[in-house]
A and B are shown apart, each in its own frame.
Chain A
């Protein structure tokens, strides 16, 4: 741990104008933390080359192992205040969080000085309890497992092989090629985007088969995936294979016919799906199923309003309704483990979700009509021609094709006459308000339903279960809830590509496969450097467990957003470090405080909280409120608020945390026992559109608050003294209002903490 600290106080950016720097330095010299501080200095412009040179000289001369920079936010001048891997740096934010945002209370003198003194001592304390982590670098296996031998899987395999990586390509059926094998042609995948083209799948199969780096296992499924990134053990066909990371490219299955019943599918012989139509083209003949005759008119119905009428769009919650936290509800005697039931997520919605591919397929197949049924007319009935981006060019080509008639339409029904001919009724069309179109054949879209809507597929041997959690949010697709980070899922080391990931065209899948391979390789390389992957990329710290104190309550195991913890028969957690993202949710969960990180731990934050000087008399000295602030969104919002000239109560003390999920109840207890009057938790948004970079962190904190409320009530402290607020990074202007509301609705209302002064 850092023991020989240099404390440097900057006078720039008005800090020196607002504070008595010499007095502050003197205060530190005479304080409880003085023994830790070998050097205590001030500097008018600490970030100047001269200021930095002085720090560097002191590091050498005094053998400092840590530097406390009391100046601006850690988010700025990060490249200036950096002294090599062996010197830890703690940034005390005197500029934004102290001087710039200060709002005085004329009734209580010396508040700015008191605040600055608190923050400097807190910074010293926090750094003194931090050590540079020294992770063990495990042996890793660099082989990539690719699940799925279709277009995406094969593209991924070839990409990995081009990086000199070994690939294990696992395909469920008896041959490579996937859905593209059944295609007569594909809609265009490259410029000029105006003609359907060969899929090229045979060439791809040949390339994969010939590639010495790719081992293909046909008629095979992934029975189980055990272990952790870098050291997975995949069981396939009863045999075990060592792999480093996995790419999930299991693609899609056709949507169930029952969702198309409103259009006559299943009843009317000549109503077929696009998959069936494609099969006919592939076999060289397009005919009406009822009589084998070539159709003179084919209607492609893209408008799926009839099928989606009663669909509930409210489903897809990221979190189940608040359930009791594990460890709270005592399990019934003799109750065994409930058998795992995989949640099925297919619905009629997949028809809407597939709209882009359905539209492109309809344009493609409308082109088949002219090819296979000379003189026939193809009608494409769409609500919105869903061909965004560069694919507009293919639509234009279809519009220029005299054999294809395209119209907007809201299809109200399909009727069948005696000889199997069909009539499609539609309104709001471009050819009339209410029309009835005769068609020999009606083609309905085949919805893309990811395999993962039906099966766990990965079959993780993880304590939390064999599946990717919460796929209901994505209608079964193994997608990321982060727009900016499309490959992030809750299972480190496994990256989805192609239609397993999102409904996508083969052109997009080609790119997606490359992206997934990059992430898989990056994951293994990060493990080889002993560091975490996104979002704490490069973090050397890792959770350390003191199992002696563990009571096997299983909270950490169940709450880890990434399933990083398994457990043994007794229920003692078994950490899998390479699954871990270093968020600290486990640390926050543990009631026995068994878990710590070398550079971020319970004692560190607890001691920092206890360093806040709390006046015994709230009237004379003012209240004190601790604000635990998520580093990712809330902290930048605070900086921005200060930059925009906002100010707030001088009685709050901000303490950054990795994630609200890492907040341990003991910190609230520490604050209360010190006589702190309230604790605010500022963090990311949770719910369906969660922003929390660790998925569940802020949500778990909010649920744990209920337990904290129980404990507080038992102590005779009002539960309202602890409150959590969702703050997005751009909600900086709201922060003063939140703080003010807390001060008036809680602190003024409830008065001083009953434990104050004890």
Chain B
């Protein structure tokens, strides 16, 4: 059926932007997000470069705009199952997983106190645990708990339900499937960090003190597992020698065959995280090229004016750990030609971004060889943000805004 509403698949920064910009022109928009919260990857960041400002600031404004706009509908824990129909008249099947917590929830936390089962915390990239019933993070939107019953014994589930003073726990909630119509579809499915287990020369994700750049974001976050202290995962001691390994998985034919755009700037930003608490820690960045395009040059100059920071152009060939779990990095300096083994307390792998949909089917669209969504703008299927290509946050917002326009062009006059 002809319809001029817009479906946005993905509620990260590109998706929220595309949805709001279209809604404020006057179109009905539905956001379908797989996580229990909106905000995607940026919600897991501590700060943005180059301003070193908190992502929750911009997200707060976005959530205010959503709250004030009746044209925006949000489904979390939901995914697109199938799409049929054509431009201007898409029929979409959505599957929504049960949250098991209804709108009566006040986030009082009583259910969490009654829960015993713990699993690795996905939001914190496994750096700590979460209970079976939990709130993903402080500024979660929707502001509501989630119950993940997998592996939780029945008595515990009952105790959790009984602990809630507001009858907000719904153990019986089942998965829902429903249909909706849309005239255009925006794919803003974003990215996932490239899995460290693929990097077998860099420890395969098994070395305790070799972390990913996203894990570094969580360590540095005041709401993160260590309250904002960058500490070694193995013994929670303060690191004195830290190395950054750029292009861990990117610019590599065996892994990600492109540059992930943000990792150089992210590592420079991480130096400022480290300096906050450790003014004298020695930091080395092993890079191929330090990519600080445009006005990011000013940020680079600022961070590099640091006497305890050195830059080494060279590819890291191998990382192992010694008996104290200190990572030992084998690197060849590209300029001097000297190969050496260097020991550090903590190594941060600047892992790249892989499109979330890589390896999956995308209804009404196709992926390129790297997994990026190839939109079909003439059919009203538009890719936005990192689903389309690796981008930083500002360009993601620009991409989302442009995508909103393309989506509207397809339904104008319908």
B402 interface contact, C-beta 8 A: yes
Give every chain A residue within 8 A of B60 (Cβ-Cβ). 632-633, 636, 729
CB distance from A752 to the nearest CB of B (A): 36
A483–B55 alpha-carbon span in the complex (Å): 9
* B412 touching A191, Cβ below 8 Å: no
* Chain B: CB-nearest residue to A521: B25
Q: Mark B374-414, 1 if CB is under 8 A from A, else 0.
A: 10000000000000011101110111011111101100110
Q: Are B57 and A728 in contact (CB under 8 A)?
A: yes
Are A517 and B405 in contact, with the CB atoms below 8 A?
Answer: yes
Question: Are B293 and A355 neighbours in the complex by a CB distance under 8 Å?
Answer: yes
B295 & A474 in contact (Cβ 8 Å cutoff):
yes
Of A386, A390, A481, A525, the contact of B390 (CB 8 Å cutoff): A390
Interchain CA distance A428-B298 in the complex, whole Å: 23
Name the contact of A392 in the complex, choosing from B52, B108, B259, B398 (C-beta under 8 A).
B259
Closest to B109 in A: A643
Q: Which of A45, A384, A511, A730 contacts B289 (CB 8 A)?
A: A384
Interface centre among B264, B313, B409 (most CB of A within 10 A): B409
Residues of B contacting A504 in the complex (Cβ-Cβ under 8 angstroms): 294
Determine whether the beta carbon of A729 is less than 8 Å from that of B54: yes
Whether the pair A730, B258 counts as a contact (CB closer than 8 A) is: no
Chain B binder among A106-114, A159-167, A600-608: A159-167
Q: Are B61 and A632 in contact (CB under 8 A)?
A: yes
Given contacts A313-B302, A428-B335, A689-B53, contact A391 B259 (CB under 8 A): yes
B394 to chain A, nearest CB (A): 5
Closest to B336 in A: A433
Choose one: B51, B54, B264, B406; the contact of A730 (CB below 8 Å).
B54
A673 sits at the interface (CB 8 A): no
Q: Whole-angstrom distance between the alpha carbons of A428 and B53 in the complex?
A: 35
Q: Kindly provide the distance from the CB of A426 to the nearest chain B CB, expressed in whole angstroms.
A: 11
Of the stretches A34-42, A484-492, A695-703, the one at the interface is A484-492
Is B237 on the interface with A (CB-CB < 8 A)?
no
1/0 per position for A576-588, CB-CB distance to B under 8 A? Answer: 0000000000000
Question: Quick one: which of A390, A408, A508 has the most chain B CB within 10 A?
Answer: A390
**In the bound complex, what is the Cα–Cα distance between A477 and B223 (angstroms)?**
35
B412 and A356 contacting across the interface, CB-CB below 8 Å: no
Minimum distance in angstroms from A312 CB to a CB of chain B: 10
Q: Which residue of A lies closest to B106 (CB)?
A: A13
In the assembled complex, the Cα of A525 lies from the Cα of B69 at a distance in Å of 14
Q: How far is the CA of A640 from the CA of B138 in the complex (A)?
A: 7
The B10-60 residues at the A interface (CB cut-off 8 A) are: 13, 20-22, 24-26, 46-48, 50-54, 56-60
Are B56 and A356 in touch, CB under 8 angstroms? Answer: no
Knowing A384-B291, A633-B60, the reply to whether A538 touches B25 (Cβ < 8 A) is no
Name the segment of A74-82, A204-212, A229-237 touching the other chain: A74-82
**Chain A residues positioned under 8 Å from B258 (CB to CB):** 389-390, 392-393
Residues of B within 8 A of A644 (CB): 138
On chain A, the number of residues with a Cβ less than 8 Å from chain B's Cβ atoms is 90
How far, in whole Å, are A391 and B399 apart by their CA atoms in the complex? 17
When C-beta atoms are compared, the residue in chain A nearest to B372 turns out to be A390
Docked complex Cα distance between A393 and B53 (Å): 31
Q: Which of B48, B64, B107 contacts A76 (CB 8 A)?
A: B107
Among B20, B26, B53, B165, residue most surrounded by chain A Cβ atoms (within 10 Å)? B53
CB distance from B76 to the nearest CB of A (A): 14
Query: Across the interface, which residues of A come within 8 angstroms of B302, CB to CB?
Result: 313
Return the contact of A162 from the options B166, B293, B372, B409 (Cβ within 8 A).
B409
Q: Decide: A526 and B53 in contact? CB cutoff 8 A.
A: no
Closest to A508 in B: B395
The answer to whether the Cβ of B65 comes within 8 Å of any Cβ in the partner chain is yes
The proximity string for B residues 134-155 relative to A, scoring 1 for CB distances below 8 Å and 0 otherwise, is 0000110001000000000000
> In the complex, what residues of B have CB within 8 A of residue A748's CB?
none
Q: Does A349 contact B (CB under 8 A)?
A: yes
Q: Which residues between 96 and 142 of chain B lie within 8 Å of chain A, taking CB atoms?
A: 103-104, 106-108, 138-139
Chain B residues positioned under 8 Å from A349 (CB to CB):
297-298
**Given A389-B389, A515-B401, A48 and B261 touching (CB < 8 A)?**
no
Q: Tell me, yes or no, whether B368 is within 8 Å of chain A by CB.
A: yes
Cβ-defined partner of A485 (8 Å) among B397, B402, B405, B413: B397
Docked pose: A538 CA to B68 CA in angstroms:
7
Across the interface, which residues of A come within 8 angstroms of B223, CB to CB?
Answer: 730
- Of chain B, the residue at the smallest CB distance from A511 is B402
Given the known interface contacts A386-B291, A521-B25, the answer about A313 and B298 at a Cβ–Cβ threshold of 8 Å is yes
- Residues on the A chain within 8 Å of B389, using CB: 389-390
Asked whether B222 is an interface residue with its Cβ less than 8 Å from the other chain, the reply is yes
Shortest Cβ distance from A516 into B: residue: B401
Tally B residues with Cβ within 8 Å of A: 85
- A:11-69 near B, CB below 8 Å: 12-14, 45, 47-48
Q: How far is the CB of A163 from chain B (nearest CB, A)?
A: 5
- Please measure, in the bound complex, the distance between the C-alpha atom of A75 and the C-alpha atom of B68, giving whole angstroms: 11
Of B26, B54, B290, B294, the most chain A CB neighbours within 10 A belong to B294
- In the complex, whether A183 has a CB less than 8 A from a CB of chain B is no
* A461 sits at the interface (CB 8 A): no
A732 within 8 A of B: yes
B294 touching A484, Cβ below 8 Å: no
Interfacial chain A residues near B22, Cβ < 8 Å: 518
State A78–B65 Cα separation when bound (angstroms).
12
Query: If the complex has contacts A162-B409, A632-B61, are A486 and B394 also in contact, measured as CB distance less than 8 A?
Result: yes
Q: Judging by beta carbons under 8 Å apart, are B412 and A164 in contact?
A: yes
Q: Does B339 contact A (CB under 8 A)?
A: no
Q: Which of chain B's residues have a CB closer than 8 A to the CB of A533? A: 24
Asked if B405 and A514 make an inter-chain contact with CB atoms under 8 angstroms apart, the answer reads yes
B315 on the interface (CB 8 Å rule)? no
Assess whether A484 is in contact with B397, with CB atoms less than 8 Å apart. Answer: yes
> Are the CB atoms of A159 and B409 closer together than 8 Å?
yes
Query: Do residues A525 and B166 form an inter-chain contact, with CB atoms below 8 A?
Result: no
Tell me which residues across on chain B come within 8 A of A733, comparing CB atoms: 222
Closest B residue, CB atoms, query A428: B335
Docked pose: A353 CA to B143 CA in angstroms: 41
Q: Is the CB of B399 within 8 A of A511?
A: yes
Question: Which chain A residues border B54 with CB–CB below 8 Å?
Answer: 728-730
Chain A residues whose CB sits within 8 angstroms of the CB of B340 once the complex forms: none
User: From B61, which residue of chain A is reached at the shortest CB distance?
Assistant: A535
In the assembly, what is the distance between CA of A537 and CA of B70, in Å?
12
Alpha-carbon separation in the docked complex, A504 to B295 (Å): 11
Q: Given A313, A474, A483, A503, which contacts B48 in the complex, CB threshold below 8 Å?
A: A483
Measured in the bound complex, the distance between the Cα atoms of B292 and A88 in whole Å is 49
Q: How many Å lie between the Cα of A101 and that of B397 in the bound state?
A: 36
Q: A674 at interface (Cβ–Cβ under 8 A)?
A: no
Q: Find chain A residues with CB under 8 A from B330 CB.
A: none
Task: For B398, give its contact among A353, A474, A486 (CB under 8 Å).
Answer: A486
Q: For the complex, what is the distance from the CA of A485 to the CA of B64, rounded to whole Å? A: 14
Whether A512 is near chain B, meaning CB under 8 Å from some CB there, is: yes
Residues of B within 8 A of A75 (CB): 143
A545 at the interface (CB under 8 A from B): no
In the complex, the answer to whether B58 meets A482 with C-beta atoms within 8 Å is yes
The answer to whether B222 touches A732 (Cβ under 8 A) is yes
Q: Is the pair B259, A389 in contact by a Cβ cutoff of 8 Å?
A: yes
Q: Which residues of B contact A391 (CB under 8 A)?
A: 259
- A-B pairs, top 6 by smallest CB distance, nearest first, are A484-B58, A514-B402, A515-B401, A356-B293, A392-B259, A730-B54
9 extra A-B contacts, CB within 8 A, seeds A481-B51, A521-B25: A45-B165, A384-B292, A386-B293, A393-B258, A474-B295, A483-B51, A483-B394, A522-B24, A537-B68
Please list 28 pairs of residues, one from A and one from B, whose beta carbons are closer than 8 Å in the complex, sorted by A's number. A45-B104, A45-B165, A45-B166, A80-B103, A162-B409, A162-B412, A356-B294, A390-B258, A390-B389, A391-B259, A430-B335, A484-B13, A484-B61, A486-B395, A511-B398, A514-B402, A515-B402, A515-B405, A522-B24, A533-B24, A537-B65, A632-B57, A636-B60, A643-B138, A644-B138, A685-B53, A689-B51, A731-B222
Seen from chain B, the residues whose Cβ lies within 8 Å of a Cβ on chain A are: 13, 20-22, 24-26, 46-48, 50-54, 56-62, 64-65, 67-69, 103-104, 106-108, 138-139, 143, 165-166, 221-223, 250-251, 257-261, 264, 289-295, 297-298, 301-302, 313, 334-336, 368, 372, 374, 389-391, 393-395, 397-399, 401-406, 408-409, 412-413
